[in-house]
Chains A and B, each alone.
Chain A
Amino acid sequence: MSAVVTDHEHEHHDHKPSGIKRWLYTTNHKDIGTMYLVFALIMFFIGGAMAMVIRAELFQPGMQFVEPNFFNQMTTVHGLIMVFGAVMPAFTGLANWMIPMMIGAPDMALPRMNNWSFWILPFAFLILLMSLFMPGGGPNFGWTFYAPLSTTYSGDSTALFVFSVHIMGISSIMGAINVIVTIFNLRAPGMTWMKMPLFVWTWLITAFLLIMVMPVLAGVVTMVLTDKYFGTSFFDAAGGGDPVLFQHIFWFFGHPEVYIMILPAFGIVSSIVPTFARKPLFGYASMVYATSSIALLSFLVWAHHMFTTGMPVAGALFFMYCTMLIAVPTGVKVFNWVATMWRGAMTFEVPMMFALAFIVLFTIGGFSGLMLAITPADFQYHDTYFVVAHFHYVLVTGAVFSIIAAAYYWLPKWTGHMYDEKLGQWHFWCSLISVNMLFFPMHFVGLAGMPRRIPDYALQFADFNAFISIGGFLFGASQLIFVAVLVKCARGGEKATAQVWEGAEGLEWEVPSPAPYHTFETPPVIK
């Protein structure tokens, strides 16, 4: 099938329009992948700027820079932007660039939809960011927008928030459909399921999670919309509804969403570690099974976010056991990576450094996750900085580190130039030290009893918060080095070979660097 598509489209595609039109009209997976990645980077800095506002206010006790209402807008929009604007589009960008090249396909299966799913995204975030300038400000009810705070008690901007989440959801669903159709139909002859690179496998599973849960998110924001503006009472006890119902629906989306943001990261690390250990992945099949089990279990654990809402003991026990069970396949993954390194011949270029940091720090996030699963202990941890520490370890040193690792790993393939290794190492070490200054002390602050989402705190927390803020500012500044590396690499540098890394294996390393505008117009032969 893929052969037919390429023959047919070959002639039209090679002359691309120049200037802005190229980017507006493009249906090329590499162009769209690049746009997704650049967009994610911009959003990472906007969301990061909001985190800087949060950390500046929390630097000392007392209210210094912002009002509590604006502080709440910052925590809310920071979360929304980082989840939907930075991490998810970055993974979609990587999928766009790499999946066709990894499976020997000429492009994504639905190129026009691909263009559309990217181009609606900037508008979604424009709407969200513009709402901050409305009278009363933007959404201020946390990225989890619990009702009735987000319904009866929210500001006028809620309609914009709902609309913007809808657009983000549509974009994600279209992206996911594209990934699934591409992987099912456009694999080169001989690329059987169990020969697919793990990045493709993890993304396939992620895409299924996306099309299953994004409609649930769309449903819950619509219920918020009608509760607020059209007199329904899904979440209002006075009308026969239940505010806790909101949390059930939200987390039925929200927990698989967490895995949407980490499964592709597992795929990236599973590509990088064998390359730099010069040794095949220890357990390819068990990695596929572990990823699938995590995806299935992710539908059975949502209420572990809700232990304090008051659920029957039997319910709490069920969700505690299922949550603990997730540690098993996650452990299998970590063990496999370590076994891959064992008796390899490792080198430590920047992608490998970020991947190693990922393994250690993500595992720390996994440990705190296991602690949070223990329901009685969760009563003490819930909604404190311990939780903030936990999910930033899995999302920043987990998802974000894997994205950065992927960027360094594939940059030479994208630009045709090697990045500046020295600058990249600086970026790594600055990030590693500052990110731990930023998030590690949060464990202690949380255990000592500081609730999350507060703009001001008791005096005992002052020293730790000042230290955390300094870590935050340093981590923010360290990311400027990353921009410098990217710009430098895009402009020039040492020519990259097709294989780029000595131990790299896979179809993407068989095409020249930079990868030509069209690759695999005739399907490759898989041994």
Chain B
Amino acid sequence: MTKTRSLRWSLPTLLLAATVNATDMPLNMTRGVTEISQQVYDLHMTIFWICCVIGAVVFGIMFWSIVRHRKARGVQPAQFHESTKVEILWTAIPVVILIVMAIPATKTLIAMEDTTEADVTVLITGSQWKWHYKYLENDVEFYSLLATPKEQITNRFAKGENYLLEVDRPLVIPTGKKVRFLMTSDDVIHSWWVPAFAVKKDANPGFINEAWTRVDEPGIYRGQCAELCGKDHGFMPVVVIAKSPADYEQWVNGEAERIAKAKAEEQELLAMNMSMEELMSVGARTYTAYCAACHQPNGEGLPGIFPALKGSAMALNDKPGHINVVLNGKAGTAMQAYARQLSLKEIAAVITYERNAWGNNTGELVQAADVHAVMQGKGE
């Protein structure tokens, strides 16, 4: 697909393509699927048409003047200027138009900001570069990461239909219910945006913002982070699935069960030892998903921003320090705390991987129990 695309881009075909494929991309703001989003769309169209009418009148007069009042036609310039009456008139008319416009805008805004009496509340936490969703009424929480493979981004594989707008675990919400979103961030400012709901709210670190929606149509709705949040700002999409209340109940119970089961497995794991091969393969997978964005696939980091792991003193010598920094992050830097994000097994595996990949041949194995020990404050 990439190949054929690049072939298509000669200028004449491009001009054609832009019109032929226009249906690919909507040319206007979405009407969305909520009452609020339709109101927003109506406001957008009203102000748009007001601008068009004013534009047509002003530019009409101007172009009439350009055509008629040109020296080439032999006209003599008039010398009139200054008229308080006219000045007052063209100050007053816009004021009236603006007041008419401000009334519906105020009503919609007040409705948008009313987050009371919600049926479901989801805490949304942004971090570089993923979203975390926590259902406050249930024991359900998970991270939602970009699902588009790196190979599509680097043009080695053909791009899929939902390129850059797909995640591993979407947010699921019930239809017909008022869902309240609480937004915050673990690091920089992010902004959670789903156009179909007309919800865009910044996730500020250390503060909580509120927004809400009530979706009537079941479906999959896609959005993106809207506030520049660093290197991979373009790669943290939002996907929301709206399900009927019954399906939602089923899903949320299933998730709670899955999470409880995973926790039980963690406990069993503490008594087990994994082999080097297993640790390295799980570690490589985890590293690619969670670490490579900053520390790079080759472990060399980006000088001046993200430190190298290859040949680093910590990865070669300081095992407890290494485990500690992965678990708890490093304050004042972009290094996140992974204790909450990854399982013990994954953490053990990724640390083993970092200590044995790219020529860091320490030969050391890190087991889930080692990680658990540091977690409990009983490091070696």
A379 contacts which of B83, B91, B199 (Cβ < 8 Å)? B199
Which residues of B sit under 8 angstroms from A456, Cβ to Cβ? 153, 164, 234-235
B195-253 residues with Cβ-Cβ distance < 8 A to A are: 195, 198-202, 204-207, 209-210, 223-235
Interchain CB contact under 8 A, A308 and B191:
yes
Q: Given A338-B62, A341-B66, are A383 and B153 also a contact pair (CB < 8 Å)?
A: no
Q: Please give me the residue from chain A that is nearest to B193 by CB atom.
A: A451
Which residues of B sit under 8 angstroms from A370, Cβ to Cβ? 47, 51
A414-465 residues with Cβ-Cβ distance < 8 A to B are: 444-445, 447-449, 451-464
Q: Which of B3-11, B254-262, B351-359 contacts A (4 or more CB under 8 A)?
A: B3-11
Which residues of B sit under 8 angstroms from A332, Cβ to Cβ? 87, 90-91
Q: Given A282-B82, A308-B200, are A463 and B69 also a contact pair (CB < 8 Å)?
A: no
A283 contacts which of B6, B28, B82, B155 (Cβ < 8 Å)? B82
Task: Kindly state whether residue A24 has any CB partner on chain B within 8 Å.
Answer: no
A261 to B377: give the CA distance in the assembly, Å: 58
Q: Please give me the residue from chain A that is nearest to B204 by CB atom.
A: A243
Task: Kindly state whether residue B106 has any CB partner on chain A within 8 Å.
Answer: yes
A467 to B22: give the CA distance in the assembly, Å: 12
A130-186 residues with Cβ-Cβ distance < 8 A to B are: 134-137, 140-142, 146, 148-149, 152-153, 155-157
A367 to B47: give the CA distance in the assembly, Å: 9
A176 to B227: give the CA distance in the assembly, Å: 33
Task: Kindly state whether residue B102 has any CB partner on chain A within 8 Å.
Answer: yes
Task: Kindly state whether residue A403 has any CB partner on chain B within 8 Å.
Answer: no
B178-202 to A contact mask, C-beta < 8 Å, 1/0: 0000010001110101010011111
A157 to B303: give the CA distance in the assembly, Å: 12
Which residues of A sit under 8 angstroms from B202, Cβ to Cβ? 308-310
Which residues of A sit under 8 angstroms from B112, Cβ to Cβ? 376, 379
> Which of A60, A68, A236, A316 has the most chain B CB atoms inside 10 A of its CB?
A68
Q: Please give me the residue from chain B that is nearest to A282 by CB atom.
A: B81
Which residues of A sit under 8 angstroms from B71, Cβ to Cβ? 278, 345-347
Task: Kindly state whether residue A359 has any CB partner on chain B within 8 Å.
Answer: yes
A454 to B163: give the CA distance in the assembly, Å: 14
Which residues of A sit under 8 angstroms from B198, Cβ to Cβ? 376, 379-380
Q: Given A317-B109, A370-B47, A466-B9, are A331 and B226 also a contact pair (CB < 8 Å)?
A: no
Which residues of A sit under 8 angstroms from B70, Cβ to Cβ? 345-348
A456 to B76: give the CA distance in the assembly, Å: 56
Task: Kindly state whether residue B118 has any CB partner on chain A within 8 Å.
Answer: no
A272 to B240: give the CA distance in the assembly, Å: 54
Interchain CB contact under 8 A, A379 and B30:
no
Task: Kindly state whether residue A285 has any CB partner on chain B within 8 Å.
Answer: yes
Q: Which of B13-21, B282-290, B320-328, B362-370 contacts A (4 or more CB under 8 A)?
A: B13-21
A286 to B84: give the CA distance in the assembly, Å: 9
A244 contacts which of B11, B207, B231 (Cβ < 8 Å)? B207
Interchain CB contact under 8 A, A342 and B187:
no
Q: Given A283-B81, A328-B95, A334-B58, are A445 and B25 also a contact pair (CB < 8 Å)?
A: yes
Q: Given A62-B2, A62-B154, A347-B70, are A137 and B228 also a contact pair (CB < 8 Å)?
A: no
Q: Which of B38-46, B135-143, B169-177, B268-276 contacts A (4 or more CB under 8 A)?
A: B38-46
Q: Given A63-B155, A376-B40, A382-B226, are A338 and B206 also a contact pair (CB < 8 Å)?
A: no
Task: Kindly state whether residue A483 has any CB partner on chain B within 8 Å.
Answer: no
In the assembled complex, how far is the CB of residue A322 from the closest CB belonging to chain B, in whole angstroms? 11
A455 to B164: give the CA distance in the assembly, Å: 11
Task: Kindly state whether residue A525 has any CB partner on chain B within 8 Å.
Answer: no
A277-306 to B contact mask, C-beta < 8 Å, 1/0: 111111111100000000000000000000
Interchain CB contact under 8 A, A280 and B79:
yes
Seen from chain B, the residues whose Cβ lies within 8 Å of a Cβ on chain A are 2, 5-6, 9, 11, 14-15, 17-18, 21-22, 24-30, 36, 39-40, 43-44, 47-48, 51, 54-55, 58-59, 61-62, 65-66, 69-72, 75-83, 86-87, 90-91, 94-95, 98, 101-102, 105-106, 108-110, 112-113, 128, 152-155, 159, 161-165, 183, 187-189, 191, 193, 195, 198-202, 204-207, 209-210, 223-235, 302-305, 332-334
6 cross-chain CB contacts under 8 A = A321-B102, A343-B77, A380-B198, A444-B27, A456-B164, A458-B162
What 8 A-B pairs are tightest by C-beta distance, nearest first? Answer: A136-B304, A237-B206, A454-B234, A135-B304, A310-B209, A135-B303, A367-B51, A343-B78
